[in-house]
Amino acid sequence: MQLIMEIDQGLSRKMRRVFLLLNVILLAIGTCGGPLIMRLYFLHGGARIWLSSWLETGGWPINFIPLLASYLQRRRKQGLAASAVLIKPPVFWAAALIGVLTGFDDSLYAYGVAKLPVSTLSLIIASHLGFTALFAFVLVKQKFTSYTVNAIVLLTIGAGVLALHTSGDRPKGESNKDYSLGFVMTVAAAALYGLVLPMVELTYKKANQAVTYTLVLEIQVVMCFFATLVCTVGMAINNDFKAIPREARGFELGETKYYVVLFFNGIFWQCFFLGAIGVIFFGSSLLSAILIASLLPVTEVLAVIFYKEKFQAEKGVSLVLSLWGFVSYFFGQIKHGKQKSTETQPLETEMPQSTVASIP
């Protein structure tokens, strides 16, 4: 069914890139800050996996602030005819399904953070790029250039290097079983999120309504609500709600800082999810995955600096391969952009203009 579009001719290609950049910044804040603040919780006495999972999407109500601003803007233009909610049932249920998958992905990721150093976890998570590329090819017919394929291979191998040799990386007091399980859970989280990103892009493409950034925010709310619902059930089964006050009193940094850590945990992860789906809207699921994978080495370096994590030779090799993949991808994009500078087609990393609507 053909997508109903609402293209604002006043929104130039330059402005779309500005909004893309803003979402990249949000994604960078979340990608680097989220794992670090979550690991801080576990390092100083926190032990609730489902609580940590809940915090990854539990900050979803913050999206009502820009949604309210968008509604008031529509109200000024359209009067009483302005609709408070734009999302239609098919898109709602698609976002709900993605949200449920995200909830389970959150739990897998949180387990990995609990058992692995951030520097190791970040490089393993970079393997999600390979999964994203595969699912993007199947679901949204993503096109690839030689530079894109090279970047995917390098970033994926860079993460895989860690699976071959991780001696001396296991946190003190942790069993080999827990460490290995954390490794497996992290790979599973990477694979599942590799499916989620193309599913979001497919939802945009198949939506039988105007795809505006307001709709993107509404999809974000629905996704995070259902993901949080999954994690809430997990918390209830695991008795996390009763354990929180007790855990706060025993937190090494103090009870007040315990709740501060939980609060910023939610904020950082909302930046991540909002930035990720925003990059998909203004670019593509593959671009979002590339950026996440490229930012993970930054997270690794920050973990080594702030948490004094070990930086073995295999991590250095993984970091070099990841940076090489990052440079390869964007060199290819610059070259591709020069070749297409005289044409009207969008860059490979951008969704076709026929499928992207304006800022509301």
Residue given tokens 């993984």 in the structure block? 318
Tens place of pLDDT for every residue, the chain, 360 residues? 333 333 333 456 777 788 889 999 999 999 999 999 998 999 899 889 999 999 999 999 999 998 998 899 888 888 888 888 999 999 999 999 999 999 999 999 999 888 888 777 877 787 777 788 888 888 887 777 777 777 777 766 776 666 555 555 666 666 677 778 888 898 899 899 889 989 998 998 888 888 888 898 999 999 999 999 999 999 999 999 999 999 999 999 999 999 999 999 999 999 999 898 888 888 887 788 878 877 877 787 788 788 777 766 776 777 777 777 767 776 776 676 666 555 544 444 444 443 444 445
The whole-number pLDDT of residue 340 equals: 59
**pLDDT tens-digit series, residues 300-327:** 778 878 877 776 677 677 777 777 776 7
**pLDDT tens-digit series, residues 110-135:** 998 888 887 778 777 877 777 888 88
Per residue in 189-200, is it b (16+ CB within 10 Å) or e — as a string? bbbbbbbbbbbb
Distance between CA atoms of residues 297 and 10, nearest Å:
38
The whole-number pLDDT of residue 343 equals: 53
The whole-number pLDDT of residue 154 equals: 77
The whole-number pLDDT of residue 209 equals: 85
Question: What is the pTM assigned to this prediction?
Answer: 0.80
The whole-number pLDDT of residue 336 equals: 63
Task: Name the 3-class secondary structure at 192.
Answer: helix
The whole-number pLDDT of residue 48 equals: 93
Name which of 11, 6, 1, 29 is nearest 211 in CA terms. Answer: 6
Distance between CA atoms of residues 108 and 119, nearest Å:
17
Angle at 162 between CA 313 and CA 274, to 5 degrees: 115
The whole-number pLDDT of residue 51 equals: 95
